[in-house]
Amino acid sequence: MKNMTLVVCLLLLVTTLVWDVGCSQSPQPSAPTPSASGQTPAPVQAQKPGSKIPDKLQWDISLWGSPRALTYPIEDWAKDMKEATGGRWEIRLQYGEVLSPAKDAVDGLKAGLYAGVLTTAMYHPGKTPLLTVGENSFMGPSSLEQIGEWSLAFAKHPAIIKELDSWNAMILFPTPPGQSNYMGKKPFKKVEDLNGMRVRIDPTGGAPLEPFGAVITNIPAPEIYTALERGMLDGVFAIWTYYFGSFKINELSKYATLGVDIKVTPIYVLVSKTAWNSLPPEWQKLASDWAATKAMPKFRQYQDVDDAKWLPIYQNTLEITTLPVTERAKLLEKAKPAWENWVKGMEAKGLPGRDVLNFAIAKRDEIMAKK
| Per-residue pLDDT, 53 | 87
| Per-residue pLDDT, 20 | 38
Tell me the one-letter amino acid at 59: W
- How far is the C-alpha of 281 from the C-alpha of 48, rounded, in Å? 8
Between residues 45 and 72, the one the model is more confident about? 72
> What is the sign of the dihedral through the CA atoms of 336, 338, 344 and 350?
negative
Which of these, 272, 123, 301, 270, lies nearest to 204 by C-alpha position?
123
- Report yes or no on 314 lying in a domain: no
- How far is the C-alpha of 184 from the C-alpha of 298, rounded, in Å? 29
When pLDDT is averaged across residues 51-59 and rounded to a whole number, the result is 88
pTM as predicted:
0.80
- Report yes or no on 270 lying in a domain: yes
- Report yes or no on 189 lying in a domain: yes
Determine the structural domain holding residue 233 and report its residue range.
Answer: 180-264+319-369
| Per-residue pLDDT, 2 | 41
Q: Same structural domain for residues 168 and 233?
A: no
Q: How many domains does the chain have?
A: 2
- Report yes or no on 330 lying in a domain: yes
Phi-psi domain of 291 (left: phi exceeds 0; alpha: psi -120 through 50; beta: other): alpha
Which of these, 224, 250, 233, lies nearest to 196 by C-alpha position?
233
Q: Same structural domain for residues 252 and 200?
A: yes
Q: Same structural domain for residues 248 and 154?
A: no
| Per-residue pLDDT, 51 | 59
Which of these, 282, 264, 299, 232, lies nearest to 121 by C-alpha position?
264
Between residues 239 and 118, the one the model is more confident about? 118
pLDDT bracket for residue 174 (50, 70, 90)? very high
Least confident of 33-42, 55-64, 186-195, 350-359: 33-42
Q: Same structural domain for residues 235 and 275?
A: no
- Report yes or no on 35 lying in a domain: no
- How far is the C-alpha of 156 from the C-alpha of 7, rounded, in Å? 79
- Report yes or no on 363 lying in a domain: yes
Q: Same structural domain for residues 63 and 173?
A: yes
Distance between start and end Cα atoms, the chain? 97
| Per-residue pLDDT, 14 | 35
> What tens digit of pLDDT does each residue of 277-313 get?
999 999 999 999 999 999 999 999 999 999 999 999 9
Contact 84, 53 (CB under 8 A): no
Q: Same structural domain for residues 211 and 327?
A: yes
- Report yes or no on 18 lying in a domain: no
| Per-residue pLDDT, 52 | 80
Between residues 218 and 295, the one the model is more confident about? 295
| Per-residue pLDDT, 28 | 31
Q: Same structural domain for residues 218 and 329?
A: yes
pLDDT bracket for residue 142 (50, 70, 90)? confident
Q: Same structural domain for residues 257 and 285?
A: no
Q: What are the φ/ψ torsions at residue 332 (nearest 5 degrees)?
A: -60, -35
- How far is the C-alpha of 210 from the C-alpha of 216, rounded, in Å? 7
Q: Same structural domain for residues 126 and 211?
A: no
Q: Same structural domain for residues 174 and 213?
A: no
Q: What are the φ/ψ torsions at residue 258 (nearest 5 degrees)?
A: -100, 175
CB hemisphere CA count around 21 (13 angstroms): 6
